[in-house]
Amino acid sequence: MSAVDAVRDIVERGAEPDDVLRAVVDALVSTGAIRWAGIAFTEDDALRLGPARGEQDEGHRERVSVEYDGAIVGELWVDGDARRDELERIGALIAPYVLIGWDTGGEAWEP
């Protein structure tokens, strides 16, 4: 199963946003090609790292913006071998979940 398919399955199952994003970084690292994955939230014009998994290797880091309705709400960071087009698709899949973390400043949120 590709990383995109794994993330799509996680998103389609649905859960609390924090649980979805933790499952996403776990799934990305479990592919074997990605050694570390993290999701950063845009807060006060800065990026703040949220869920992350694996061993960092910043020399091989790819960063992809996560946008929701035209606004950058965060970034997906991965260290390892990943295709940018796949990371962009993953960013689009997780955007609504990153929005909640961005929009609430990381605080608990009730719909």
Cα 106 from Cα 43, distance rounded (Å): 9
Inside any domain, residue 99: yes
Inside any domain, residue 72: yes
Inside any domain, residue 109: no
Q: What is the pLDDT of residues 18-47, one digit of tens each?
A: 899 999 999 999 988 999 999 999 888 889
Inside any domain, residue 44: yes
Inside any domain, residue 108: no
Q: What is the pLDDT of residues 76-102, one digit of tens each?
A: 999 999 899 999 999 999 999 998 754
The total domain count for the chain is 1
Three-state DSSP state, 11:
helix
Domain range for 56 is 3-103
The CATH number of the domain holding residue 22 is 3.30.450.40
